[in-house]
Every structure is written in structure tokens, then in C-alpha cells.
Amino acid sequence: MVQSKKQKYLFLAFCLVPTFIMFAIFTLYPLFSGLYYSFFDWSGASQHKEFVGLANYISLLKDAIIPDTIIHDYFLVATKVIGIMILAMFFAVALTQLKIKEAPFYRIVFFFPNIMSVVVIGILWTFIYNPNLGLINSGLEFLGLESFAKPWLGDENWALPSLVLPSIWAGIGLFLLMLMGGIANVSKSYYEAAEIDGASQWQQFWKVTLPLVWPQIKISVLYIVITTLNGSFIIVQVMTGGGPNNATHVMGSYLYQQAFVQYNFGYGATIGVMILILSLLTVLILQFFMRREKVEY
Amino acid sequence: MKFHLFKGIRILFLAVFSLMMIYPLYWLITSAFKTNKEFFARPHSFPTNFSFENFTRAWEVADLGTAMMNSTIVTITATALTVFLGALTAYVLSRFTFKLKAFLMVFFLLGMLIPIHSTLVPLFTMMDQIGLLDTYWALILPYTAFELPIAIFLTVAYMSSIPKELEEAAVIDGNGYWGVFFRIMLPLSVPALSTVAILSFLRYWNEFVFALVFINDSTLKTLPLSLSIFSDGFSTDYALTMAAMTIAVIPTIVMYLIFQEQIMKGMVAGSVKG
């Protein structure tokens, strides 16, 4: 290179510093200032901040709604991971193995909800769950199962499970694509060899497909977990607002309510710290359980 | 024989499921053309006559023109910023060796794990102090910051696969770092960068949480925020709500249908390399 070391470092700095600063200010710094605010009693609006030590954390432990919000969040995480991964895997294998010419059409259809705002998805599904004219109750009636029809989102026991269906509907396309990418990368010769050895399709799936697309499965599961812990708030806010009777509050919606509706900023920040710790722990634990020797045949 | 039956069942399942995937969308768009009376009488039938009245009314009631404008400004600025900063950073991380490189990679990687909720209260406070609340920047800057890690990783993966000889040739031709970046790396990375651009565009256009917390001024509301009033206030006026949502969805549908090949390729490439 003709250019001097100084020029190189000047160029590096020019490229990296804006990104670094922006990233540090808007994602990293808030984590630390959030921790700081969690030690104060503060309404957000006034200048007056009172240092209260660990009082917010003590209220957090005593708050009866908090354990519910955590359970609700992990209920959504678990049902979404299971629902999306099974369906996406089934369709990914079907679309790559069946070699049907409509495959691109199916991909386009399955990915469609991914381009819509969760707000639109939420309102649309509120209508679908509408007790009188929504698709679900109409469909049950059509099948002669009127007795199962209920005001889904207004029912304390059914409101939370009702949020799972729209989330799976909205999420499946992305993971279908990721898994199809993984399967397309598996060499055909493995399947041919398995065929010669007399392996059934089922065995081929467990012995060839699953181990070889494990990296994509792992990324997909982690991604679903992170985006659910990060995004369940929107669907809750739009579809139920946390109700009925707090039956659908998740950590994010409870934080929003505490900080931006009731102006308990200090307590809101405390919930934020809890969310950070729980998500990082979850990711770490998942990483540990999903680690596998890289398979190469 | 058994094999064919199995295949048939799978195709049937695929067809039924894709119908379930597309039906809500069909319902959304057809209902938007109905009157409320017709919607209540026959919610799932095809509209008997197409009326555009809901669209004009939704446009006025929810001030969708302003919202569309705000969403466009925020989305385009943030997307441009994401692509430009992402490309610069990815170029440096994929082509140069320097002391802090490994640290920076981990630093950006960890960024993907930060939950947005944990940053809401502190970001609100910070923006309040520096007067950013209720401005376009209150959305543009955090959007970009949170999207940059993904943009950087997709682009680094792609740039690493570009042969070094091309740059060496450009250097011999007398290009400096900027010349190499603008004349070689940027044009060659267009496939990765357009994937980044499309994904960022979709994410920013649809984003709700930051907009909900950082924007209070009704003249600055973005589309998802304007639509959210329909989640309670107007929920009995179904046809109006459906029309408002259709208006909001159309730009992304058009974009999706134009770029779907690119989106599919980008997602698949991203998943294999990531």
C-alpha cells in the first residue's frame, strides 16, 4: 500500500467512530443509566429524584403481578418455539423434498405476514377472534362445534393462549426460509447414500437433515426467544392491553404501564434491568443446552 | 403406493395451511371495500359492490396522509444511514487488521442481544434531556443503532467472499482507501446491501414500541402509531379500520412483490452464513 500508517488509522477511525458512538449512545449507555435510575424513586417529569437504594428491587420481589408477567412471557416463548419450529421444519422439508413446482408460491405466501406491522397483525387478529363475526367462532359454528365458541380475548383463561396463534402465523415464514436455506445446503449425496442403505424418509430426517441443519435450528430458536422477549409487548398492547384482569400482561407491557402510564420511572427502570438479566440468562442457558459438536459426514 | 399417499397428505396439508396463511389478508382487503352493514351481514363473503368510501374516510379520520409522510421520512433516512454506516464498518471489519477488531466484533454481536424494553426508560430520559423527544431523530437514531449489528454481520459475511485481487488491482491503479471503497467494495456488495436495505425498510416502516414512547406530537405520528388508535377507539367501525390497515399495508406489499426474490435470497444467504 502506498498510504502511510497514519492515513490508514485516520480512515479506520472515520469508518468506525460514527457507528461506535451511535451504538454506544443508543444501546449500551441506556443499559447503564437504566441501572442507575433503578435506585431512585422518580416520576420522570420532575427534577426531583430521591435515592431509595434497593427499595425498587424489594417492591419488585413483592409485586404479585411480576411473577405472572414472567410466566406469561415464557409461556409465549415456549409455545412459539415449539409451534413455529415444528411447522417450519415440516414445511421446509416438504417443500425441498417434494420438488413441487409451486414451491416459490408457497414461500411467498408463508412469508407474507412478515412484511406487516405487528400493530396491523394484532388488530386483524382481534377481529378474527371477535365473538360474533370473527373467523374462529364462525368456523367453529360452520363445523358444528358452537359449544367451543367463546369470547377468546375476553376470557381470562383463553386470552393468553389466543395470542400464540397470531404469533405463529406471523413468524413461521422467516424460519421456513432459514431452514430451507440450511436444507438446500445439505449435499444430495447424503440422501442418496441413506437411500441405498435403506433408510426410511423418517430415518433420513432424524439422521441426516436434523444434525446437518442444527446450526440453522439453533439460530432460529435463539432468534424466536430474543424477539419474543423483546416484542411480545406489542401484540399484548394491541390485542388485550394486558387484560382481562392482568391475564395477559408480559414484562414489557407491565414496564410500559408502570413507567409511561403511571409515571413510576424508577420502578420501570428496575423492571428493565430484570428483563435484561432474564434475557441474557435465557440466551446463555439455551446456548449451553443447544451446543452440539459440528456434524460433518 | 404408501409413499404416494404420504406425499399426497403432505401436499394437502401445505395447501390447507397456505390458505390459512393468506385468508386473513384476503379478509382484510375485501372487508375494506364493504359497508359496515354488509360486513356485519356477511363478514366472509366477497363484497357485492366496491366502495372506496372507507378509504377516504380512514385517510381523514386517522390523518393517514401525515402518518404516511412521517413514516416515509423516518424510514428512508434511517435506512440510508443504516446502509451507509453498515457498509463502512463492514468494509473495515472484513478487510483490515487492527488491535481492536476482535473486541469490536464481539461488541456489535452483543448488541443483538440487548432487549429494547430495557432501554425504554433510560432512552426516554436521555432524549428528554437533550431535546430529541418528538422529533424525527428520536426514531431515526435508535432504529439505526439497533439495526446496525445485523446490517454489519450480513455485510461482513458477504464482503469476506469478495476476492482481494480486485482491490489490489484498484490500488495499483492509484486508488486510495476511499477509492477502493466507493469504486470496488460498494458496487460489488450491492446484493448484500440491498438485502440490508429491504430488511431495515420493513422493520422501520412497521416499528411500534419506540414510536409509542418517543412520539407524542400527533403531527409526527408514524403509520403504526396512527393505526393503533383503531385498536380501541374505533373498534366498532370495522370497515373503516380494515380500510386504514389496508392503506398501511399496501406500500409494503408492493415492495415485497417487487423485491421478493431479493428478500428470499438474502434471508437464505444470511441464515447459511450466520
CA distance A179 to A213: 7
Report yes or no on A278 lying in a domain. yes
| Residue B15 in domain | no
Looking at every residue in chain A, the average pLDDT score rounds to 87
Residue B6 in domain? no
**Which pLDDT score, from 0 to 100, does residue B274 have?**
42
SS (H, E, C) chain B: CHHHHHHHHHHHHHHHHHHHHHHHHHHHHHHHCCCHHHHHHCCCCCCCCCCCHHHHHHHHHCCHHHHHHHHHHHHHHHHHHHHHHHHHHHHHHHHCCCCCHHHHHHHHHHHCCCCHHHHHHHHHHHHHHCCCCCCCHHHHHHHHHHHHHHHHHHHHHHHHCCCCHHHHHHHHCCCCHHHHHHHHHHHHCHHHHHHHHHHHHHHHHHCCHHHHHHCCCHHHCCHHHHHHHHHCCCCCCHHHHHHHHHHHHHHHHHHHHHHHHHHHHHHHHHHHHC
With H, G, I as helix, E, B as strand and everything else as coil, classify residue A49.
coil
In a domain, A151, yes or no: yes
Full residue range of the structural domain in which residue B56 is found: 24-273
Q: Does residue B273 carry a pLDDT above 50?
A: no
The proportion of chain A whose per-residue pLDDT surpasses 90, expressed as a percent, equals: 35
Higher pLDDT, A275 or A227: A275
CATH code, domain carrying B46? 1.10.3720.10
Please say whether the dihedral angle defined by the alpha carbons of residues B205, B208, B211 and B216, taken in this order, is positive or negative: positive
Q: How far is A290 from chain B (nearest CA, A)?
A: 16
How confident is the model over B158-205, as pLDDT tens digits? 888 888 888 888 888 888 888 888 988 999 888 889 888 988 998 899
Of A23, A34, A178, the CB nearest to B121: A34
| Residue B3 domain flag | no
Residues 122-151 of A with CB under 8 A from B: 122-128, 133-135, 138
Residue B94 · residue B159 · CB < 8 Å: yes
In a domain, B237, yes or no: yes
Contact call for residues A186 and A208 (beta carbons, < 8 A): yes
Q: A272 pLDDT exceeds 50?
A: yes
Mean pLDDT on A154-170: 90
- Look over chain B and give the mean of its residue pLDDT values, rounded to a whole number: 86
What are the pLDDT digits (tens) for B239-252? 888 898 999 888 88
Predicted TM-score (pTM) of this structure: 0.88
Residues 69 through 88 of chain A touching chain B, CB cutoff 8 Å: 87
Q: What is the rounded end-to-end Cα distance, in angstroms, of chain A? A: 42
Q: A273–B44: do the CB atoms touch at under 8 Å?
A: no
> What is the reported pLDDT for B3?
60
* Closest chain A residue by Cα to residue B4: A98
CB contact under 8 A, A98 and B125: no
Rg (CA), chain A: 24
Would you place residue A163 in the very low, low, confident or very high pLDDT band (cuts 50, 70, 90)? very high
pLDDT of A224 > 80? The answer is yes
Cβ contact, residue pair A12, B113, below 8 Å: no
Which residue type does A260 have? F
Q: Which of A70-84, A205-219, B253-267 has the highest mean pLDDT?
A: A70-84
Q: Does A122 fall in a domain? A: yes
A8 in any annotated domain: no
Give the three cell numbers for residue A94: 416438504
User: Pick the residue with more confidence: B167 or A268?
Assistant: A268
Q: Is residue A118 within 8 angstroms of chain B, CB to CB?
A: yes
Query: Which residues in chain B touch residue A11, judged by CB atoms under 8 angstroms apart?
Result: 92, 177-178
Q: Which residue did the predictor score with more confidence, A279 or B274?
A: A279
Residue A100 belongs to what domain range? 66-290
CATH of the domain at A117: 1.10.3720.10
Q: Report if residue A275 sits inside a domain.
A: yes
pLDDT of residue A3: 62
- The alpha-carbon radius of gyration of chain B (Å, integer) is 23
Contact B141 A22 (CB under 8 A): yes
pLDDT(B72) > 90: yes
Instruction: Give per-residue pLDDT as tens, A49-94.
Output: 888 888 899 999 999 999 999 999 999 999 999 999 999 999 998 8
| Mutate which: A100, A117, A287, vs B, most B CBs within 10 A | A117
Higher pLDDT pick, B58 / A2: B58
pLDDT 10s digits, A10-25: 888 888 999 999 989 9
- pLDDT at position A268 is 93
Which positions in chain B touch A231 (Cβ < 8 Å)? Answer: 116, 209
Give domain status of residue B14, yes or no: no
Instruction: With residue A223 as reference, give the H or E element that holds it.
Output: helix A214-239
Q: How confident is the model at residue B80 (pLDDT cuts 50, 70, 90)?
A: very high
Quick check: A239 and B27 CB within 8 A? Answer: no
Q: Name the residue type at position A179.
A: L
Query: pLDDT for A123-143, tens place per residue?
Result: 889 888 888 778 888 888 888
The predicted structure's pLDDT at residue B81? 96
CA–CA–CA angle B137, B142, B143 (5° rounding): 95
User: Which residue is listed with cell 447424503?
Assistant: A190
Does some domain include residue A140?
yes
How far apart, in whole angstroms, are the C-alpha atoms of residue A193 and residue B21? 36
- CA-wise closest residue to B77 among B152, B140, B146, B134: B140
Question: What average pLDDT does this structure show over B251-273?
Answer: 75
| Range of lowest pLDDT (A74-83, A144-153, A218-227, B71-80) | A144-153
- Name the grid cell of A51: 435515592
Instruction: List Cβ neighbours of A212 (8 Å cut-off, separation of 6 or more).
Output: A182, A185, A186, A190, A295, A297
Residue B233 above 60 pLDDT?
no
DSSP state of A25: I
> What is the arithmetic mean of pLDDT over A215-223?
88
Question: Which residues 184-243 of A have a C-beta within 8 angstroms of B?
Answer: 184-185, 201, 216, 219, 226, 229-231, 233-234, 237-239, 241
**Closest residue in chain A to residue B17, using alpha carbons only:** A110
Measured CA distances, B86 to A23, B136, B148, B237 (Å):
11, 20, 6, 43
Contact B18 A109 (CB under 8 A): yes
**The Cα angle at residue A236 between residues A233 and A239, in degrees rounded to 5:** 145
The residue with cell 471489519 is: B93
Report d(CA B163, CA B181) in Å as an integer. Answer: 14
The answer to whether residues B227 and B242 touch, using CB atoms and an 8 Å cutoff, is: no
Q: Is residue B1 part of a domain?
A: no
For cell 419474543, name the residue: A228
d(CA B117, CA A60): 16
Q: How far is B114 from chain A (nearest CA, A)?
A: 7
Percent of chain A exceeding pLDDT 70 equals 97
Domain count, chain B: 1
DSSP state at residue A155: -
Q: Which residues of A touch B85 (CB under 8 A)?
A: 18-19, 22
Q: What's the confidence (pLDDT) of residue B269?
A: 61
Specify if B4 maps to a domain.
no
- Residue A51: what pLDDT? 87
Q: Is residue B161 part of a domain?
A: yes
What is the amino acid identity at position A22? M
Is residue A34 over pLDDT 60?
yes
Contacts with A26 from chain B: Cβ below 8 Å: 119, 123, 141-142, 145-146
